[in-house]
Amino acid sequence: MIDQHNLEVIDSSQAIDGATVEIVQFSNLSGSADVRTAENLYYVRQSGMRLKMVRIVLQNSHVRVEPGALYYMKGRLQMKASTGGGILKGLSRKVLSGETFFVNEIHGTGEIYLE
């Protein structure tokens, strides 16, 4: 689970349907049960790096995301895989841009975090 008090919004944009897309960064990176990870976190903190994520807030709306991009979601959300506009659109997206044939559509009200 993501600690909301450890996040700060550094940029945001609102869609017509009420969805909000935000770039968030963690204020502090701390804690690990693994020594190697703890050591890496120490050096990340010392260098001043910040971990950033994309957060999408849905209000009875929907969003399409690439497979593998989803990190975490919470709320009253449903996810289904689709071609994102029909078989021809899915095929053309795959052939022309190398993207996947299917996309994930997430509907409802809640928060989505992308890697």
CB 69 within 8 A of CB 114: yes
Q: What is the C-alpha separation between 105 and 83, in angstroms, rounded? A: 10
Mean pLDDT score across all residues of the chain: 85
**Predicted confidence (pLDDT) per residue in 44-83, tens digit:** 888 988 889 999 999 999 998 888 889 999 999 999 987 6
Helix (H, G, I), strand (E, B) or coil at 69: coil
CA angle 72, 74, 77 (to 5 degrees): 110
Band of residue 97 on the pLDDT scale cut at 50, 70, 90: low
